[in-house]
Amino acid sequence: MHAIIQRLQDCLGLAGVLFEKEDVAPYCKDWRGIFSGDALAVAMPKTTQQVAEIVQLCQELHVKIVPQGGNTGLCGGATPEGDAPQIILSLKRLNQIREIDLANQTITVEAGCILQSIQEKVAASGAFFPLSLAAQGSCTVGGNLATNAGGINVLRYGNTRDICLGIEAVLASGEVYSHLKGLRKDNTGYDLKNLLIGSEGTLGIITAGVFKLFPSPFDHSAALVAIDDVSEMVALLHELQRRAGNELCAFEMMSRESLELTIRHFPEFNRPIFTAAKYTLLIELANFEVDNSSASNRVQAVLEETLEGYLVKGAILDAALATSEAQVNEFWAIRDHITLAQAKEPGNIKFDISFAISKIASFIKSTDAILQQKFNGVQIINFGHLGDGNLHYNLCAPKDAKSDYILNHEKNMTELVIAQIQLFDGSISAEHGIGQLKREYLMHHRGRVAYQMMVAIKKALDPDNLLNPNKVLFSEE
């Protein structure tokens, strides 16, 4: 038994340390089952002070640390790899809501809080916490901060970093960095908050964060829209932003193929509108403003009027408006089931990518054509947050292909799409991060100068490469 286990038990008590193989195993594999590794133990601190003590112990005993939240990441950033002695530091039990300050419109939460529990706690206080994503029932806010998570409310509220006003983190030195004052303006030196957010546990272990709260939206309005032309989609996006401002909450795009796949696996979602055009949009608006002067739903009127104009000029082919909150949720259920449908296919390749919105149409046209030419019949499951310039551009095998099709073509397909992303000045990771999955592409993608800056910062803040080694950047040991 490695010395670290006894020392961790001294620090955390018996209940705070897992070290039997079968107890540790679930933490050593990502939920998609793509990555796995070994760890000596899982340490489960309940306080920031305990996190600091664990880091000091690991430093002393030369044991590496893999921080982990809800283990819902998509890039293997929280999964151990390599054969250096290492532990998983699970933040799950560091899960108190420290403060809701309604007069400052902020909440201070510890890293292990489940995202959905924060949403619920804030809703109960009469305010609104906007961060929302598919894994919200099991992901932790510490993981959201470590990866700068995106999700479905980015168009109006921004990414995780945009709603976070400050963090607390344990550094590789075992010291605690803390800046939880809840300030909306603070120009006192370098922006350490944003450096740690999105660094995937490689520069520090985020233990708490303070977030902005917002007034609750009400009167949601949504529509499904059948549309062929990506440029017209962008025009419609800007028209709605001009007319509805920030009340436009979501502008999601789904390709016909992604809906056909979903209906094949979940026939209950079949709707005539999905086969009418190359793409279906899911558009959502919400009232954020109390308007006593009119009884009508103002944003619904804006949405109707705008879509009518687009129908008349032939820029869209069809539109269906939700007539109830239940129908709004039903529209979203379709969107959410694309991922589940994909999981039923024999292998698939996922790309979480982004572009200047002005370049999306050309990227899709060019990349669709090249893929079909080189991999005839490949299913392009293209959907995503068009309003943010973010596509989930995923590939499944042709319908009649053998079960090892994706396995055989994965490398070529990946390299082709990544070359296209470079060509159209896009990003290889819009919201999922780098982790292990995209590490080998990072230097070429961001360029040597940016990569070397990152390496220099990693060395400066974690000279012994103690924290989440070999994630985001390759270890240089």
Q: List the interface residues with its own copies, window 370-399 (CB under 8 A).
A: 385, 388-390
Nearest CA to 4 out of 83, 68, 59, 52 is that of 59
Residues in region 25-84 near its own copies by CB under 8 A: none
Q: Nearest approach, Cβ of 400 to its own copies (angstroms)? A: 35
| DSSP at 25 | G
Out of 56, 95, 105, 475, the only residue in the binding site for its own copies (CB under 8 A) is: 105
Q: Which of 68, 106, 153, 221 binds its own copies (CB under 8 A)?
A: 106
CA-CA distance, 316 to 224, in Å (whole number)? 11
Q: Are 468 and 65 in contact (CB under 8 A)?
A: yes
Residue with tokens 């200047």: 356
Instruction: Find the helix or strand (DSSP H, E) in which 251 lies.
Output: strand 248-255
Of 320 and 454, the one with the shorter C-beta distance to its own copies is 454
Which CB, 3 or 356, lies closer to its own copies? 356
Q: Helices marked H in 313-461 — which ranges? A: 325-343, 360-374, 405-423, 439-446, 448-461
Of all helices (H) and strands (E), which one includes residue 81? Answer: none
d(CA 114, CA 450): 33
Q: Does 257 bind its own copies (CB under 8 A)?
A: no
Shortest Å, Cβ 171 to its own copies: 7
Spell out the long-range contacts of 115-121 with Cβ–Cβ below 8 A and sequence spacing 24 or more: 115/139, 115/140, 115/141, 115/144, 121/97
Among 298, 317, 339, 474, binds its own copies (CB under 8 A): 298
Rule CB under 8 A: choose which of 6, 49, 125, 246 binds its own copies.
246
CB 153 within 8 A of CB 385: no
- Binding to its own copies by CB under 8 A, coded x per residue (else -) over 324-363, reads ------------------------------xxxxxx----
Residues 148-187 contacting its own copies, CB under 8 A: 148, 150, 154, 158-159, 161-162, 171, 175-179, 181-187
- Which string of x and - marks every residue 197-226 that binds its own copies (by CB under 8 A)? xxx---x-----------x-----------
By CB under 8 A, what part of segment 402-461 binds its own copies?
425-434, 438, 442, 445-447, 449-451, 453-454, 456-457, 459-461
State how far the Cα of 440 lies from the Cα of 418, in Å rounded to an integer. 12
Minimum separation from the CB atom of position 385 to its own copies (A): 8
